[in-house]
Amino acid sequence: MLHPLTEEKVFKDPVHNYVHVQDQLIWSLINTSEFQRLRRIRQLGTTYLTFHGAEHSRFSHSLGVYEITRRIISQFERSLYTDWPKEERLVTLCAALLHDLGHGPFSHSIEEAFDMDHEEWTCRIILGDTEVHRILLEEGADFPDKVASVIRKDYDKAIVVNLVSSPLDADRMDYLLRDAYFTGVNYGTIDIDRILRMLRPFQGRVVVKDSGMHAVEDYLMSRYQMYWQVYFHPVTRSSEIILRQIFRRVKELHEYGFELKFLPEPLPSLFRLEMTTEEYLQLDEALIQTAFMQWRKEDDELLADLCTRFINRLLYQYVEIEMLDMENIDEIRYSFRDVGLDPNYDLEIDFPTDLPYDVFRPEDESKETQILLLDKQDQLLEISEVSDIVRSISGIHRGKYHLYYPANKIAPVIDRLPRHIAVLFQRTELKEDFNDVV
Amino acid sequence: MLHPLTEEKVFKDPVHNYVHVQDQLIWSLINTSEFQRLRRIRQLGTTYLTFHGAEHSRFSHSLGVYEITRRIISQFERSLYTDWPKEERLVTLCAALLHDLGHGPFSHSIEEAFDMDHEEWTCRIILGDTEVHRILLEEGADFPDKVASVIRKDYDKAIVVNLVSSPLDADRMDYLLRDAYFTGVNYGTIDIDRILRMLRPFQGRVVVKDSGMHAVEDYLMSRYQMYWQVYFHPVTRSSEIILRQIFRRVKELHEYGFELKFLPEPLPSLFRLEMTTEEYLQLDEALIQTAFMQWRKEDDELLADLCTRFINRLLYQYVEIEMLDMENIDEIRYSFRDVGLDPNYDLEIDFPTDLPYDVFRPEDESKETQILLLDKQDQLLEISEVSDIVRSISGIHRGKYHLYYPANKIAPVIDRLPRHIAVLFQRTELKEDFNDVV
Amino acid sequence: MLHPLTEEKVFKDPVHNYVHVQDQLIWSLINTSEFQRLRRIRQLGTTYLTFHGAEHSRFSHSLGVYEITRRIISQFERSLYTDWPKEERLVTLCAALLHDLGHGPFSHSIEEAFDMDHEEWTCRIILGDTEVHRILLEEGADFPDKVASVIRKDYDKAIVVNLVSSPLDADRMDYLLRDAYFTGVNYGTIDIDRILRMLRPFQGRVVVKDSGMHAVEDYLMSRYQMYWQVYFHPVTRSSEIILRQIFRRVKELHEYGFELKFLPEPLPSLFRLEMTTEEYLQLDEALIQTAFMQWRKEDDELLADLCTRFINRLLYQYVEIEMLDMENIDEIRYSFRDVGLDPNYDLEIDFPTDLPYDVFRPEDESKETQILLLDKQDQLLEISEVSDIVRSISGIHRGKYHLYYPANKIAPVIDRLPRHIAVLFQRTELKEDFNDVV
Amino acid sequence: MLHPLTEEKVFKDPVHNYVHVQDQLIWSLINTSEFQRLRRIRQLGTTYLTFHGAEHSRFSHSLGVYEITRRIISQFERSLYTDWPKEERLVTLCAALLHDLGHGPFSHSIEEAFDMDHEEWTCRIILGDTEVHRILLEEGADFPDKVASVIRKDYDKAIVVNLVSSPLDADRMDYLLRDAYFTGVNYGTIDIDRILRMLRPFQGRVVVKDSGMHAVEDYLMSRYQMYWQVYFHPVTRSSEIILRQIFRRVKELHEYGFELKFLPEPLPSLFRLEMTTEEYLQLDEALIQTAFMQWRKEDDELLADLCTRFINRLLYQYVEIEMLDMENIDEIRYSFRDVGLDPNYDLEIDFPTDLPYDVFRPEDESKETQILLLDKQDQLLEISEVSDIVRSISGIHRGKYHLYYPANKIAPVIDRLPRHIAVLFQRTELKEDFNDVV
């Protein structure tokens, strides 16, 4: 078993000031090649093309999640709360640190294209023949399984799962603060010290002392604002659409038997959908970007164009459409085809959505998505029962559809499109402004 | 000639809050592929291996330099200072925006290895067959030359050169603020509003109103602190040494005729030292990192080991040595060779140095390195004449040499080294702490 | 007429960094004894007894309101918006600077007790025989009237009134930011740069470009949070209740003919409700606090006790009651009297309330309380029509009543109170914590 | 003996975010009338007349000093440092909290005028018949003496004295941060987390781990900058001079037997220099300001004028003189008298001075003024031996004398002054700018 460090080590972190490492186990995990790989995966995918500051990596986010978890546990221990099972400290810290270990480059897009799941990959890395696995083993033969089990949310101590994944977990708190810091958008600034002070372990869950209700309201509003200002930003969506089209296109080309000139390991295995863990760990954003750079010179014009767009940030334009019936869309598709456009690539529909906080519904068995307040009489109250604010934002769905398309391809044929469709693409949001939108 | 934008555009920037773009010319330049390439070059090279937040790019720094310059000029215009030549506004803004355009990936190391110069490349890009060049041309046939001339510091309006390159220029002000923000080190926090308020155009130079002396002192102290805390951080130097060794090794291998399995364009031209501008523009940090990833599997053991070290952050250890005579070093080299180590790769000497502000010396013709204060009687005073602080820090050289080496290679042979040399590597600074050093 | 200053002057301000003064008129107004008096009136009354940082004065707030107004106008001028009447610049700036000039010490409580109105006093000072009046006169014979008219909201240029008083005016923006800064509560942090960028003069009103909707939502949420966290904080209410009781008691004593030992000018006129402007200008918080210090030694026990409480911060306790029918209250009063307590002083009911944003109601003629968004087709939309968030928080009233009382007086007699009433005061919120409440 | 609190209480603090109170003893001390009195004493005296944000009280500073001390001790305990005597925790916290208890209104000026000493008064309050004394007694019969002894610096455990008073103590760290925050001057921003991490108890002293040297350099530079930007600001000095002249004048009038119309308790005892502790505790800034307001109407013209100046902020102008020989000053005095000016009130010489860090001198027995670094071999090094920066700023004395005078009194007689003296007052620094000086 690994011992505590004789002297605590720190990382300078712009969000939490210092990240404190007090256990040799944590220190060793950070120094594995698998964890270092997270330096080469951006936390916010293509968001840096909208907010140029958002270049931060999953490495720094993972340290941040670990640090918040460490502070929560340290406060639980200092306050001698009896509902906190002390012996779960290390397994919780490891799960917090490693929860994003399986993320691939530009995760959301690549997962969609190649049918992967980062949580599954996290567990494969933890349980496979890796440095991380070997270090975890030193803590006990079943320790890697325990950590994986927390990440899969089937660990038998519910409170540990709750700390690592819940609507008010360390993951969400860190990403709100961190993404706000690096984008420069100040809506994400939450009073984390106050929230942490208000958390209580209680009957197998982490709950919030009721006097912290306003702090939780503020946290949920921050989340709501960050979703609309940053995560669903139409310019970011535009770059993600191009990314997905690139992945889709190379997959098609691969299926057609087209041989790409540039295809270093482990891309062939990726395309064949049969990666080993070792191969998976070689995937990073540098590789993907380098491939895009090289593919700009491939013979397939579509792929070359898409890669050029991504690299040089020549994004798709978009229009917002209020109501959307599918027939209409089909009509647009047909008319696109008629004038020689490719409806599979020259038109994408996007419908971003988020519920800042899903209320409890009686039919739901699980309480995992709830935030519970603890009152002076030790009664639990679901927050939307007592907070007008939370109740009012809980049900808000935003019904805006966006159509994305390459403006330069449509312009030459626009006169040949039916008038009522052409009009749509003429009143386009020709915002060239990078990020002053929404 | 390009016109002002009808509506100002902004970039959200975490350091300056907003970067304001008011001219179509600036907007077009930002959207060129050459300028977008700066997103793929980190501002601080390998510093992210020490301070994990320092992932920011030269793209954001360039926007910041432009923004500070814009604010200075806008204040000069608002205050109706007659010593400011209004017609130079656009050429100054363009030079500020583009001054780092020629930076390559991990510039300092790659320039040293392949004898390149980023300033020269900046001018080649501005003057060559590029998008940037074509946009600048729209402003006038000699406009690209004018911009290049400001960057080469031989433009005939000295004040323009002075604004863009001087000890108190927009470049330095932005990087201090930005590097402090992204590393999280708060020493770089300068009162930029106050400094900007104190700047005056005066007889072909930008000078500082004397009541701003303390603000300038504070700025120079911040620079001093940033150098020692961040720029010269021994852990960062360690990663740079490995980087330079990789470049040195592949160059050697290339000269020996060794054929690397992975060598995509434009690396062959780089190794032959004959890159075209078009090729140069394909160099970015994603490519370099991808090459390192692939070279981990090359047959040359040394190269494979160095690349593995860089990718997995397995850095060299170091010892600090007070006094260093060359005989001693040679003795160490010989004894390294005797025990089978390679003194060309297993030992590196490093001597970081910086003068926060070089005082004027009578023999210097140029006044470019001076900061001048303007008193109430319109007399100019060199700042070190009046500031005790500046005078006292001007001459400070720090004489610390560091020896860097791969600890795991030395350990097995340490008993075979002469005792007085072995001792040196035993009292090594075995700090594994990422950044809590110096 | 007063001229622009040859060189702009600044005040260092922790909230806006610098407050810029560019006109001799503004400079002269700041230096009057009437404006300097605002240094001796706290911005947040007794809030410093809950949040110890909240010692800031109306002087700094007034400078802040002026500065925000100056920035808005300067942006209107720079953007050449034709709906902004340029000639109204100075009158707007003066009204912004002077709008709080008539505030007395602990305004809300003193106004209630002595039936005064600070807006009326502001106008009396502007129009009376004062330094401020004489300086305004230099700008034109009708200039003082114009400034007063803006403050009274009957100035004929509606947009000027709108800039100075509206749901999104400089006054509210400054106090949110300033009160958040000085209390240390971070909920008030709004993106003021973004809001300012989105403001447009349009048809006699200041409206918001529709892409700024989220920034306005965030501003309204911040206001909501500040109301509940700071302005309606029960500990602050408790100190205000004691303050009002002191004023009520001295007024009663005065009416009874009781002669206070300490009663310097201008307190006698205050009690007789017949103050001249000159006398009013001698009222400040130092005087009131000094009177309280001295009155601790008066023969009237009630007054002495109340003053001791205020000076030594021995506040009333409170209980929260969900539903309140008046009969119940009367019953409590009677039972208080029965056991020898004084229901007029030993029991106070408080019902704090705020609507963060009142929605437009068809029957309202005035649009002054609306925030209007301007879309791309120059159509105006009332914000609650488009924002779910605003609509959902618009109608929220919080129905919590608080009973305040001196715990030390109730304790000895609690057994003699009817059981169901005694119980109420036993489950009291015995929070001694200064500010970690709500 | 008082017990720990069952639940920790907090104060919201803008500088430290939260001040944590964990002991009933500390809580009770904060709630005494003597400690609450510190709310009515400003931390920075008249500085608010230069930096309008600087209205913060000694109450908030005292809480801050307590909080920093608590964090240091808590880290000593967590790290199990054996050189820290655990049993001294409470006495140290009490001394930290109470160290400023004896400060009077506008301390420095009033102490000079009436020959008082705040440290002596602190001890009198701790040892006298006060609430504070009675609470301390509950901890043990000798506990008040122990606390007083720490404040008097003769406590037998040197490390306790060292924590509370040394060049790197909690007092200095809090005031740098707090004064920077409230003035808005950002030079005081020090990395307190890093400094605290570097402190070590060692052989009866608090020393700094040598890797914290740069953090200490930065702290000393911040102090230096705050002295010159804030504490010695000539506008603040000007208001202090007027304050001292008021005190001097009323004392003279009292000695002459002149009867002031407004002279409430405890001012008569103050003038007779025979205050009891009870009387002393009635002194606060509200009383002094109220007295000044009333004295504007006294018959003594000089006193009335000085009070009007202070209240309305009509300060003295100043000139800076490089070299000052006493003969010259006498000549100015004589010529002032000749033209009917009063050299005792119409002319004041000021020579501000500070040494940011006094170096050790061999002849000094005491090491109390040193900052010691602890190296890896447990050797102590005085910081100026190793830091070039500290060495270079240690000896800097600034030799600027200022002459302060009432410009409006000199103007009418300036032609009658000898030419070489008149010239002096003509080249006066007619800066009306509030704080943009030095």
The interface predicted TM-score of the complex, written ipTM, equals 0.93
Tally of residues, chain B: 438
Q: Secondary structure of chain A: what % helix, strand, coil (to 5)?
A: 55, 10, 35
Distances (CA, A) of B438 to C402, D193, D231, D334: 57, 16, 32, 59
Tokens of C179: 């009160």
Q: What is the structure's pLDDT at D142?
A: 97
3-state secondary structure of A348: strand
Nearest CA in chain B to D192: B186
**Model confidence band, residue C365 (pLDDT cutoffs 50, 70, 90):** very low
DSSP bridge pairs for C11: C19
Query: Which stretches of A99-191 are DSSP H helices?
Result: 107-114, 118-127, 131-137, 143-151, 158-164, 170-183
Q: Rounded distance, CA D302 to CA C131, Å?
A: 22
- Mean pLDDT, chain A, rounded, equals 89
Burial classification of residue D415, based on how many CB atoms lie within 10 Å of its CB (0-12 exposed, 13-18 middle, 19 or more buried): exposed
Q: What is the structure's pLDDT at B321?
A: 77
Q: What residues contact residue D142 under an 8 Å CB cut-off, 6+ apart?
A: none
Residues of B in contact with A11 (CB under 8 A): 52, 434-435
Q: What is the pLDDT of residues C155-190, one digit of tens each?
A: 999 999 999 988 889 999 999 999 999 999 877 678
Element (H or E) spanning D122, and its range?
helix D118-127
Residues of C in contact with D313 (CB under 8 A): 31, 36, 39
CA dihedral sign of residues D310, D313, D314, D320? positive
Nearest to A435 among B11, B39, B435 (CB): B11
DSSP characters over B177-211: HHHHHHH--GGG---HHHHHHHEEEETTEEEEEGG
- Mean pLDDT, chain C, rounded, equals 89
Instruction: List the single range of A285-289, A309-313, A376-380 with lowest mean pLDDT.
Output: A376-380
Contact C218 A187 (CB under 8 A): yes
Tally of residues, chain C: 438
Element (H or E) spanning C173, and its range?
helix C170-183
DSSP bridge pairs for D17: D13
Task: Chain B: give the shortest CA distance to residue A45, in Å.
Answer: 14
Residues D247 and D120 placed together within one structural domain of the fold: no
Q: Which residue in the block uniquely carries the two structure tokens 């608010």?
A: D48
Residue of C8, C11, C12 best to disrupt the D interface, most CBs of D under 10 A? C12
DSSP bridge pairs for D321: D401
Q: Rounded distance, CA B421 to CA B327, Å?
A: 13
Q: Which residue in the block uniquely carries the two structure tokens 């052989």?
A: D203
Residues of B in contact with C8 (CB under 8 A): 79
Contact B197 C17 (CB under 8 A): no
Nearest CA in chain C to B7: C79
Q: What residues contact residue B160 under an 8 Å CB cut-off, 6+ apart?
A: B85, B88, B91, B92, B95, B150
Contact A14 B184 (CB under 8 A): yes
Q: What is the structure's pLDDT at C434?
A: 44
Residues of C in contact with A393 (CB under 8 A): 388-389, 392
CATH number of B270's domain: 1.20.1250.30
**In chain A, how many domains are there?**
1
Q: Rounded distance, CA D185 to CA D183, Å?
A: 5
Domain endpoint, select from D221, D245, D272: D221
Residue of C58, C290, C312 best to disrupt the D interface, most CBs of D under 10 A? C290
Let me know: does A259 contact A122? Beta carbons within 8 Å.
Answer: no
Q: Which amino acid, one-letter code, is at B256? A: Y
Q: Quote the Cα angle for B282-B285-B288, to 5°.
A: 85
Q: What is the structure's pLDDT at C2?
A: 64
Contact B9 A433 (CB under 8 A): yes
Q: Which contacts qualify for B381-386: CB closer than 8 Å, 24 or more apart? A: B381/B210, B383/B208, B383/B213, B383/B216, B383/B357, B384/B357, B384/B359, B384/B360, B386/B210, B386/B213
Q: Is the pLDDT of residue C436 over 60?
A: no
Q: What residues contact residue A76 under an 8 Å CB cut-off, 6+ apart?
A: A84, A201
Under DSSP, the state recorded for D346 is: S
Residues of A in contact with B290 (CB under 8 A): 264, 286-287, 290
Other beta carbons less than 10 A from residue C229's beta carbon:
25
Residue A96, domain member (yes or no):
yes
Nearest to C14 among D53, D290, D432 (CB): D53
Distances (CA, A) of B387 to A337, B215, B368, B380, D22: 74, 11, 19, 14, 47
Residues of D in contact with A194 (CB under 8 A): 18
Pairing of strands C372-374, C380-382: antiparallel
Residue stretches of chain D with pLDDT short of 70: 1-2, 188, 322-327, 352-368, 395-400, 427-438
Contact C293 D286 (CB under 8 A): yes
Element (H or E) spanning B306, and its range?
helix B301-312
Let me know: does C84 contact C76? Beta carbons within 8 Å.
Answer: yes
- How many residue contacts between B and D have a Cβ separation below 8 Å? 54
Residue B398, domain member (yes or no):
no
Q: Rounded distance, CA A99 to CA A149, Å?
A: 11
Q: Is the pLDDT of residue A145 over 90?
A: yes
Tokens of D115: 């020959």
Residues of A in contact with B311 (CB under 8 A): 33, 36
Query: Which stretches of C31-117 are DSSP H helices?
Result: 33-36, 58-78, 89-98, 107-114
Domain endpoint, select from B286, B309, B332: B309
Residues of B in contact with A27 (CB under 8 A): 432
Q: What percent of chain A has pLDDT over 70?
A: 90
Tokens of D326: 């006493």
Across B89-228, where does the E strand assignment appear?
A: 199-202, 205-209
Q: What is the structure's pLDDT at D433?
A: 43
DSSP bridge pairs for A202: A205
Nearest to C11 among D13, D294, D435 (CB): D435
Q: Which residue in the block uniquely carries the two structure tokens 């963060």?
A: C356
**Model confidence band, residue A437 (pLDDT cutoffs 50, 70, 90):** very low
Q: Is the pLDDT of residue B94 over 50?
A: yes
Residue C437, domain member (yes or no):
no
Residue C44, domain member (yes or no):
yes
3-state secondary structure of B313: coil
Residues of B in contact with D187 (CB under 8 A): 191, 218
**Chains in contact with C, counting 3 or more C-beta pairs less than 8 Å apart as contact:** A, B, D
Residues B214 and B285 placed together within one structural domain of the fold: no
Residue A86, domain member (yes or no):
yes
Let me know: does D190 contact D202? Beta carbons within 8 Å.
Answer: no
**Model confidence band, residue C437 (pLDDT cutoffs 50, 70, 90):** very low
Domain endpoint, select from B283, B309, B335: B309
Residue C286, domain member (yes or no):
no
Contact D17 A193 (CB under 8 A): yes
Q: Which residue has the higher pLDDT, B352 or B293?
A: B293
Q: What is the structure's pLDDT at A224?
A: 84
CATH number of C64's domain: 1.10.3210.10
Distances (CA, A) of C175 to A163, C16, C179, C192, C218: 37, 12, 6, 12, 15
Q: What is the structure's pLDDT at A241?
A: 95
Contact A53 B12 (CB under 8 A): yes
Residue D367, domain member (yes or no):
no
Residue C267, domain member (yes or no):
no
Q: Rounded distance, CA A46 to CA A245, Å?
A: 14
Contact C197 B17 (CB under 8 A): no
User: At residue B430, what are phi and psi to the nearest 5 degrees?
Assistant: -75, 55
Strand order in the sheet with A205-209: A199-202, A205-209, A372-374, A380-382
Nearest CA in chain C to A186: C191
Per the structure, the complete domain to which residue C208 belongs is given by 4-231
DSSP characters over A41-89: SBTTGGGGGTSTT---BHHHHHHHHHHHHHHHHHHHHHTT-TTS-GGGH
Contact D36 C287 (CB under 8 A): no
Q: What is the structure's pLDDT at C358?
A: 52
Q: Rounded distance, CA D289 to CA C282, Å?
A: 12
For the segment C256-276, the average pLDDT, to the nearest whole number, is: 93
Which of A319, A302, A309 lies closest to A404, judged by CA? Answer: A319
Pairing of strands D4-13, C401-405: unpaired
Q: What is the pLDDT of residues B326-353, one digit of tens each?
A: 568 888 999 999 999 999 999 998 876 6
Q: What is the structure's pLDDT at A326?
A: 59
Q: Is the pLDDT of residue C390 over 70?
A: yes
Which of B64, B91, B100 lies closest to B160, judged by CA? Answer: B91
Residues of A in contact with D17 (CB under 8 A): 193
Residues of A in contact with D78 (CB under 8 A): none
**Model confidence band, residue A438 (pLDDT cutoffs 50, 70, 90):** very low
Q: What is the structure's pLDDT at B369?
A: 72
Q: What is the structure's pLDDT at B306?
A: 98
Nearest CA in chain B to D217: B225
Let me know: does A357 contact A384? Beta carbons within 8 Å.
Answer: yes
Q: Rounded distance, CA A78 to CA C98, Å?
A: 52
Q: Rounded distance, CA C221 to CA C187, Å?
A: 9
Contact B389 D388 (CB under 8 A): no
Q: What percent of chain A has pLDDT over 90?
A: 64
DSSP bridge pairs for C202: C205
User: Which of the residue ranges A143-152, A421-430, C165-174, C190-199 has the most confident prediction, judged by mean pLDDT?
Assistant: A143-152
Q: Rounded distance, CA B37 to CA B283, Å?
A: 9
Q: What is the pTM of this model?
A: 0.93
Tokens of B423: 């001792």
Nearest to A214 among C186, C211, C229 (CB): C229
Query: Which stretches of C184-284 are DSSP H helices?
Result: 192-198, 213-226, 234-256, 267-271, 277-280
Burial classification of residue D325, based on how many CB atoms lie within 10 Å of its CB (0-12 exposed, 13-18 middle, 19 or more buried): exposed
Q: Rounded distance, CA C351 to CA C400, Å?
A: 7
- The C-alpha torsion from B250 through B251 and B254 to B258, rounded to 10°, is -40
Residue D195 — left, alpha, or beta (φ > 0 → left; ψ -120 to 50 → alpha)?
A: alpha
Nearest to C218 among A225, A388, A393 (CB): A225
Nearest to B17 among C10, C79, C193 (CB): C193
